[in-house]
Structure 1
Amino acid sequence: MKRPTNEMTKHIKPLYITAHVNGKPVSRVLIDNGTDVNILPYRILQKLGKNVEDLIHTEVSVAAFTGESTKTLRVLPENVTVGSRSSLSAFFMVNSSASFHALLGRNYIHTNYCVTSSMHQSLTDDDEV
């Protein structure tokens, strides 16, 4: 089997959106339907106007796409608004230098009845389909 050429795969890109978390705009929010949980890098906490006292203790570990396990620091429940739809989401805080500012996983996608398309670079709720 031949490997696909760059021309054949140039449309396959990660799906990034801008969302409002705690009423504040957050760019580079990665939509990942292969992830079970929502992730927020610890470095974003201050941008949201939050501090450690706002976080809930947890003993949860998550697996990175590399398969390596990472212990989450805490959980932050926050209101997330994308377009006209808002919902409460739990973000697991990790100490990471990831390229995203937040990651919304399968739980968010299913709870909000979203349809994702990395090919079209869009996140659509089922009311718009």
Structure 2
Amino acid sequence: MGDIVKWQKKTDNPNSRKDTTRWSEFHIDIGHTIEEFLGLRRQVAYLLKKGYLKDLMPSKSREDNGARKDQERQQRDLLPAPPIYEVKFINGGYKICGLNSSAAKKNARESKMKSPFKPKNLPRITFDDTNMQGIPDLHHDGLVITMQIGIARVLRILVDGGNSVNLIMLDVLKVIKIDEIQIIKKSNVLVGFSGETKNTLGEIYLPTYVEGVSSYERFGVLDCLSSYNAILRRPWIHNIRAIPSTYHQCVKIPTEWGIETIKGEQKSA
């Protein structure tokens, strides 16, 4: 095959340093067997990759090689086409969302508040099939839980990581005997998916407790009909370092005693 093949030369080690029990048919010398000659292996693999020596391969190997190429071709066909356009459009801005620089700084300060855990001490959180007991494999339900807010056990609380404001309904505050005078009169504008807006009545700070984990949360107060009594969003999720999974219908929370699991109420969802 001429210059196509680049053979590795025989070692220059003296015979006294070679293994006399091994014979190389390729180099006609002692020291190693032809099966142990890595240089030869690499060279044969290189030639096969370049398309040479195919006629020397057993028929089974040729079939396996052809099947492997067909599989690789099918995998390439499944790859998505390269994108043609890039969309960066976003509607609205900080005014319509009620966010300004001072609010952003306040949020940054609150995120630096001391937490009972440091990231390096957090246990590993995973989800598996054991969390799916009693849950259909295919569902599109939201994650609804029950927890204690203030002095009341509140049902139908939606866990939603898609927003940065915890919400609670005014009717819930009335039921748990919290006077409206405790609401901080600071209205914010909430913007829905289609652009509709809703003003909150203000803000209120309430203690929350679930599975041995407590936190003090800021809620926006809404006076409207809702499918949920409260909505816990990123502030609550991040404050207690919770990991929610809508698919597994549960929330896992790291504590000093291990991982606590809050089961979702799929029927309510």
> Shared fold by TM > 0.5?
yes
Aligned residue among 61, 64, 68 for 2:196: 68
1:54 and 2:187 correspond: no
What's the TM-score once normalised by structure 1's chain length?
0.87
Q: Which has the higher strand share?
A: 1
Task: State the AA in 2 paired with 1:114.
Answer: A
Give per-residue Cα distances to partners, 1:2-54, cap 9 Å, x unaligned: xxxxxxx8422110000101021000010000011100111111122101111
Distance 2:212 2:193 in 1: 31
Structure 2 segments unaligned to the other structure (5+ residues): 1-136, 261-269
What's the TM-score once normalised by structure 2's chain length?
0.43
1:29 and 2:157 correspond: yes
1:16 and 2:162 correspond: no
- What is aligned with 1:4? none
Q: Which has the higher helix share?
A: 2
- Alpha-carbon spacing, 1:99–1:52, altered in 2? closer, same or farther (3 Å): same
Aligned residue among 107, 111, 126 for 2:239: 111
Q: Which has the higher contact order (CA 8 A, sep 6+)?
A: 1
Structure 1 segments unaligned to the other structure (5+ residues): 1-8
Matched residues, number: 122
Identity %: 26
Rg bigger for which structure?
2
Aligned-pair RMSD on alpha carbons? 1.8
- What is aligned with 2:171? 43
1:88 and 2:220 correspond: no
| Counterpart secondary structure, 2:190 | strand
| Counterpart secondary structure, 2:156 | strand
Give per-residue Cα distances to partners, 1:75-117, cap 9 Å, x unaligned: 1100011211010001101122110010000111011100001
Task: State the AA in 1 paired with 2:200.
Answer: T
